[in-house]
Structure 1
Amino acid sequence: MPIRPQFKWLYPLDWPQLSAVIRFERAKGRCEHCGRPHGQQVRHLGDGRWFDEELQTWRCGKGRGLPRLIAVDSDTIRLTKVVLATAHLDHDPSNNRSRNLKALCQRCHMMHDREEHRRQRRLTLRMRKAIGDLFLGPYRP
């Protein structure tokens, strides 16, 4: 996920190198939550279950192997390219200690940041209302 320009100053100058160490040396190119491999197309069902080509088995959203999978039609299976990103576990971009960083695929990263995204969305909507009240009179959606 790209860094927003207003938050760029929170990250160290060597962030790309630090992120690469976490994603490719420590995590060995796999999501540290579900195990999806970086840069590969994976088949998935949209609810977290995905097919591990290397082991020829379906896995759940936490990376555990599934004993069996009910029959699914080909319309349900989707393809997604996996991209790893380094996530801050405490949502503080200035805290770059190794134990606070984790390599996550885009799905796991979005799930980890879900509450932060909701909080930011509420704040953005409140700011829009406040600006509307200040300059344009009552806000009308």
Structure 2
Amino acid sequence: MPIRPEFKWLYPLDWPQLSAVIRFERAKGRCEMCGRPHGQQVQHLGDGRWFDEERQMWRCGRGRLLPRLIALDSHAMRQTKVVLATAHLDHDPSNNRPRNLKALCQRCHMLHDRDEHRRQRRLTLRMRKAIGDLFLGPYRP
């Protein structure tokens, strides 16, 4: 995920190198939550289940092998390119200890940051409402 300009000063100068070590040396180019491989196109169902080309088996959203999968419609399958990012487990960008960092794919990173995204959404909506009150009179949805 891109770093917001207002938070850039919280990250160390060697953040790109630190992130690369976590993603490619420690995690060996795979998501540490679900196991999706970095840089590859992955077929998935949209609910977390994805097809592991290496093992020729389906995996659940947590990376566990699924014993069997019901017959699927071809239109239910989606394809996504996996990109790993380094996530802070405690959501504190100044805490860069290796045990606080994890290599996550887009899906796992969004799930990990879900509460923060909801908080930011509420804040944005409140700010829009306040601006409406300030310049346009009472806010009317």
TM-score, L = length of structure 1:
0.97
Runs of 5+ in structure 1 lacking a partner? none
2:25 maps to a residue whose letter is E
1:135 Cα deviation after fit: 2.7
1:52 equivalent in structure 2: 52
Aligned ranges 1:59-138 → 2 under 5 Å? 59-138=59-138
Q: In structure 2, give the amino acid aligned to 1:122.
A: R
Q: Deviations over 1:29-50 (max 9, x none)?
A: 0000000000000110110000
Q: 2 CA distance for matches of 1:10 and 1:136?
A: 36
Structure 1 CA distance, aligned partners of 2:15 and 2:137?
Answer: 44
**AA aligned opposite 2:49:** R
- Alpha-carbon distance in 2 for matches of 1:98, 1:106: 20
Q: Whole-Å Cα distance in 2 between the matches of residues 140 and 69 of structure 1? A: 49
Alignment gaps of 5+ in structure 2: none
Aligned-residue offset at 1:129: 1.3
When normalised by structure 2's length, the TM-score is 0.97
Task: Give 4+ residue runs of structure 1 displaced > 4 Å after superposition.
Answer: none
Q: Could you report, residue by residue, the CA deviation over 1:83-140 in whole angstroms, capped at 9, with x for unpaired residues?
A: 0000011111111111110000000000010111000100111111122222332122
Question: Which secondary structure does the structure 2 equivalent of 1:75 belong to?
Answer: helix
SS in 2 for 1:120: helix
Query: Match of 1:119, as an amino acid?
Result: R
- Give percent identity, aligned residues only: 89
Alignment partner, residue 22 of structure 2: 22
SS of residue paired to 1:80: strand
